[in-house]
A and B are shown apart, each in its own frame.
Chain A
Amino acid sequence: GNSVTQMEGPVTLSEEAFLTINCTYTATGYPSLFWYVQYPGEGLQLLLKATKADDKGSNKGFEATYRKETTSFHLEKGSVQVSDSAVYFCALSVVRGNTPLVFGKGTRLSVIA
């Protein structure tokens, strides 16, 4: 089956620290990979995506590279800000009709000044 495993938080960092949130997946087929972010009291926002091996998704200083050999899609940011405090979800979608997203459990990030 299809599944996503991401590091469980909470993760607490000081402002300007380096962020890595690990995400690995198992999939039958060739998935597209996504990172979504959910700020307190809001819905999910697409942060970045990658659709094939070695693709790098990037947005707002965040990056993640689709690594087929390690089945990973780790999220990184070089210098976090307080405004990055949120829950981050790694997700995959396998091409088979309008299949639902398969989400990881989410990682809560708190950035302190």
Chain B
Amino acid sequence: DTEVTQTPKHLVMGMTNKKSLKCEQHMGHRAMYWYKQKAKKPPELMFVYSYEKLSINESVPSRFSPECPNSSLLNLHLHALQPEDSALYLCASSQDSTRGVSYEQYFGPGTRLTVT
């Protein structure tokens, strides 16, 4: 099973709302990622978690707050977003690559976020 699931599929939120995106994988992967993808662009990395610890934050604004409650789950908490944050948010997972081997990442279907 190489499935990464994400909920919700679509989300519309106002600039004062608080919402969360959820991601789950059951492949035993210990690295999980959040990407943001704007239309007709490649995904841009936001965060990387390795063994449930944040290892990379690509200078993402604090209105995005990631959380990794356990090795299978990854959340992205959203607060006070701006309309330019509207995008497809993709979650991915991979085997941990800290031991000198590079593994492929498996992506979920994404959450289409619209900020009004």
B109 pairs with A42, CB closer than 8 A: yes
Centre residue among A31, A51, A104 by max chain B CB count within 10 A? A51
Q: Which chain A positions have C-beta within 8 A of B109? A: 42-43
Using CB atoms, name the residue of chain B closest to A105.
B42
Q: How far is the CA of A89 from the CA of B90 in the complex (A)?
A: 15
Q: How far is the CA of A12 from the CA of B84 in the complex (A)?
A: 31
* Interface residues in B, total, Cβ within 8 A: 32
Shortest Cβ distance from residue A96 to the other chain B in the assembled complex, whole angstroms: 8
Q: How far is the CA of A1 from the CA of B33 in the complex (A)?
A: 21
B102 pairs with A100, CB closer than 8 A: no
Q: Which chain B positions have C-beta within 8 A of A97? A: 50, 55, 97-98
Shortest Cβ distance from residue A94 to the other chain B in the assembled complex, whole angstroms: 7
Using CB atoms, name the residue of chain B closest to A32.
B102
Q: How far is the CA of A50 from the CA of B55 in the complex (A)?
A: 26
Whether B61 is near chain A, meaning CB under 8 Å from some CB there, is no
Whether A46 is near chain B, meaning CB under 8 Å from some CB there, is yes
Q: Which of A32, A43, A99, A104 contacts B108 (CB 8 A)?
A: A43
For chains A and B in complex, what number of residue pairs have CB atoms within 8 angstroms?
Answer: 70
B42 pairs with A98, CB closer than 8 A: no
The 8 A CB mask of B90-103 against A (1 = contact, 0 = none) is 10101011101111
Q: Which of A44, A94, A98, A104 contacts B31 (CB 8 A)?
A: A98
Whether B104 is near chain A, meaning CB under 8 Å from some CB there, is yes
Q: Which chain A positions have C-beta within 8 A of B96? A: 98
Using CB atoms, name the residue of chain B closest to A104.
B42
Interface residues of A in 47-72 (CB under 8 A from B): 49, 51
A43 pairs with B107, CB closer than 8 A: yes
Do A44 and B45 form a contact, CB below 8 Å, given A97-B97, A98-B50, A100-B33?
no
If A43-B4, A44-B43 are given as contacts, then 5 extra A-B residue pairs at C-beta distance below 8 Å, sorted by A number, are A31-B102, A43-B108, A44-B107, A46-B105, A89-B42
Question: 10 smallest A-B Cβ distances: which pairs?
Answer: A103-B42, A100-B45, A44-B107, A32-B102, A43-B107, A43-B109, A98-B31, A93-B102, A95-B102, A43-B110
A-B contact pairs, 8 of them (CB 8 A): A43-B108, A43-B109, A44-B90, A45-B107, A93-B104, A100-B56, A101-B45, A108-B40
